[in-house]
Structure 1
Amino acid sequence: MDKFWAEIVDFARETANHVGTRLLPDFRQVQASQKDDGSLVTQADRWADEAIRDAISAHFPSHGILSEEGQHEFPDTEWCWVIDPLDGTTNFTRGIPIWGISLGLLYHGTPVFGYVHFPPIGQSFHGFWYGESGLTGLPLGAFMNQFPIHSSPDELSSNHFFNLCSRSVSFLQQPFPCKIRMLGVASYNFITVATGAVLGGVEATPKIWDIAGAWVIVQAAGGIWVPLESEPIFPLEVGKDYSQRKFPTLVASNSELVNLFKPFLKIE
C-alpha cells in the first residue's frame, strides 16, 4: 500500500476509534429529538459530526466534507469525505449495541474508500473500490478488523438471511424466500452482505451518508449494489443539496441473486 492510502486508512481508523470511544459513555444515556425528516438526532451525533469534520480539516485541508449534521451541498473539490457520525441513532438511544461511524472518501464524486466502525461490538470495516471513478492504483479489497472478507457464494435457501429496514417492509412480496432480519442500521445492513453473513438486503430511504462508506466495502467484497431508481447514485453533483435525497437500494452477495430477489420487490 502506498503512502497516501496508508495515511488514509490510519486516519480513518484513528478518527473513528477516537470518536467511538468518546461516544460509548453516552450510549443509552442521551435523549433524542426529531429532525424534519423524522429521523432522530442527539447531542452525541452533533459532537461526533463536529469532531470528525475538525479532524478532516486538520489532516486534509484541501478535501471537501459532506455530513449528516453539517454541510449538505456537495463541494467542488477533487476529494470529498461523506460522513455519518452516528449511524443507528435510534439503537444508540434505546440501548441496542449496533451503531457505528461511517466514512466514505469520494474522488470526483465517486466513493473509492470506505471505513465503518461499530464500537459496541468491536467490528471495523474498510475497503477500496475503483468503480467508475477513473482512479487507479488503489489497494483493492475489503476487510474486517484487518482480515479479508468476501460475500457469500451460497445459493438461496430458506435458512439464509435477508436484511431490511422498517421502511422497507412494504417493499416485499410474501412469502419471501429467506429469513428476514432488521438490524436498525443502514450501513450494517449492507456490510453484513460483504461479510457473507446474509445474502442480501434492501433499504427504502437511505441518505448519501448512510451508503457512501458501505457502497465501497460491499462491492470490494464481491457483493452487488443495485440502485432501485433509474438515476445513478454516483458521481455526486457539485452544488447539489443532498439533505433530502433518498437512494432506495438492493444489495446481494452475487449477481445471480439479484434476479432472484428483484421479483419480490414492489419497486423498480
Structure 2
Amino acid sequence: MNSFWEEVLVFCQTLTNTIGQQLMKDFGQIEASRKSDGSLVTQADRWADQEIQQAIAQQFPDHGILTEETEHILPPQEFCWVVDPIDGTTNFTRGLPIWGISLGLLYRGIPVFGFVHFPPIQQTYHGYWFADSGLTGPSGAYLNGKPIQTSPDEPSLNHIFNLCARSTDVFQNPFPCKVRMIGVSSYSSALVACGASLGGVEATPKIWDIAAVWVIVQGAGGAFIPLEPQPVFPLQVGEDYGKRSFPSLVVSRQALVEQFLPLVQFIGDRVF
C-alpha cells in the first residue's frame, strides 16, 4: 500500500506543478463570470478542471472523480478524487496571490489523503488521515515536504482566527483572537494545520473546498467540526453535491472546540 501512496503523492506534485505554471500565466489577467450560486468561474477554472480530470483518468482509471466545475454526483468507485481546480477564484482574477489547486482523495466516501498547492506563494500542503477506514500507510501532515503540527497555544489577542465573508457576525460577542479574512477556504484551514492560526470558520464551503484540508488539518493534530447536526462524511453515492454547503469550524486541537464552538455555532443554523 505504501507504493500506492507514493504514486498518489508524486502524481499530485507533478500535476499541480504543471497546472500551476499555466495558471500563473492567467493570474490576474482573465475575466470571470458568475455562476448560479453566486461564485465566480473563469475559462482557467474550466481548463484546469478538464486537465485534472484527464490526468486522473489516465493515471487511476479505476478511480471516480467529483469536481467543482463539472462532476457533482458522487460515483460508486471505492476511491474518488474531489477536485477544486482553483480555490480562490476571486483572488485569482483580482491579482491577489492566495489561491490554490485542491485535490482530496476519498475512500468509501471519506477523505484519506489531501493535497493543496498554492502556486503564487509556492506552498504545498499534503496529509494523510486514515482513521478507521482500514487503510494503512503514511501519517501526518506536511508543508513543502516538512512535517507540520497545529499550535498548542491558548487563545489570546496575539493569536489569529480566520473568518469567511459570511461569518462576520461573530463580532456580536467579544472574540478571543485577532481575526483575519483570507478569502480562500483551503488556505484558511492550512494556516491552522501549520500552526499559524488557532482556528477558522467557513459558513458555506462546498465539498471540494474542504475534502483535502479535512485530512491535512487532522493529520496535523487539529479538529474539523461540522456546524450542522449531521456528519459530513461519508459522502453518499449518487448524491448531488453541487449546491450543498458544509458550514465548518476548524481548530488547532479538540480542547479548543468548547471555547470557539459557542461563538460560531449560529452559522450552521442560518440559511444562505
TM bracket, shorter-chain basis: over 0.9
1:264 to 2:259 alignment? no
Q: Which amino acid aligns with 1:150?
A: Q
> Where do 1:197-236 residues align within 5 Å?
197-236=196-235
Q: Deviations over 1:106-135 (max 9, x none)?
A: 000000000000000010000000134x23
How far apart, CA to CA, are the structure 2 residues paired with 1:105 and 1:265? 28
How far apart, CA to CA, are the structure 1 residues paired with 2:113 and 2:86? 18
Task: Give the Å deviation of 1:257.
Answer: 1.2
Task: Give the Å deviation of 1:262.
Answer: 1.5
1:114 to 2:107 alignment? no
Q: Which amino acid aligns with 1:51?
A: E
How far apart, CA to CA, are the structure 2 residues paired with 1:200 and 1:262? 11
Q: Match of 2:172, SS? A: coil
Q: Structure 1 stretch 13-22 or stretch 172-181: which is displaced more?
A: 172-181
Structure 1 consecutive aligned stretches of length 4 or more whose deviation exceeds 3 Å:
none
How far apart, CA to CA, are the structure 1 residues paired with 2:236 and 2:170? 28
Q: Structure 1 stretch 38-47 or stretch 172-181: which is displaced more?
A: 172-181
Identical columns (%): 60
How far apart, CA to CA, are the structure 2 residues paired with 1:90 and 1:129? 30
Q: Which amino acid aligns with 2:64?
A: G
CA RMSD in angstroms comes to 1.1
Q: Deviations over 1:57-109 (max 9, x none)?
A: 00001100000001100000010000000000000001100000000000000
Q: Which amino acid aligns with 2:223?
A: I
- Specify the alignment match of 2:84 in structure 1: 84
Task: Give the Å deviation of 1:259.
Answer: 0.8
- Specify the alignment match of 1:167 in structure 2: 166
Q: Deviations over 1:137-164 (max 9, x none)?
A: 1211100000000000001111100001
Q: Match of 2:149, SS? A: coil
Q: Tell me, which stretches of 5 or more residues in structure 2 are unaligned?
A: none
Task: Give the Å deviation of 1:196.
Answer: 0.1
- Specify the alignment match of 1:74 in structure 2: 74
Task: Give the Å deviation of 1:170.
Answer: 2.4
Task: Give the Å deviation of 1:195.
Answer: 0.3
- Specify the alignment match of 2:104 in structure 1: 104
How far apart, CA to CA, are the structure 2 residues paired with 1:266 and 1:136? 33
Q: Match of 1:216, SS? A: helix
- Specify the alignment match of 1:93 in structure 2: 93
How far apart, CA to CA, are the structure 2 residues paired with 1:171 and 1:73? 33
- Specify the alignment match of 2:13 in structure 1: 13
CA contact (8 A) 2:227 2:246 kept: yes
Q: Deviations over 1:192-249 (max 9, x none)?
A: 0000000000000000000000000000000011000011101100000000000000
How far apart, CA to CA, are the structure 1 residues paired with 2:249 and 2:202? 7
How far apart, CA to CA, are the structure 2 residues paired with 1:17 and 1:213? 17
Instruction: Count the aligned residue pairs.
Output: 267
How far apart, CA to CA, are the structure 2 residues paired with 1:12 and 1:109? 20
CA contact (8 A) 2:33 2:42 kept: yes
- Specify the alignment match of 2:239 in structure 1: 240
TM-score (norm 2): 0.96
Q: 1:266 to 1:238 in 2, by over 3 A?
A: closer
- Specify the alignment match of 2:127 in structure 1: 127
1:194 to 2:172 alignment? no
Q: Tell me, which stretches of 5 or more residues in structure 1 are unaligned?
A: none
CA contact (8 A) 2:201 2:264 kept: no
How far apart, CA to CA, are the structure 2 residues paired with 1:73 and 1:102? 18
How far apart, CA to CA, are the structure 2 residues paired with 1:78 and 1:139? 19
How far apart, CA to CA, are the structure 2 residues paired with 1:163 and 1:9? 28
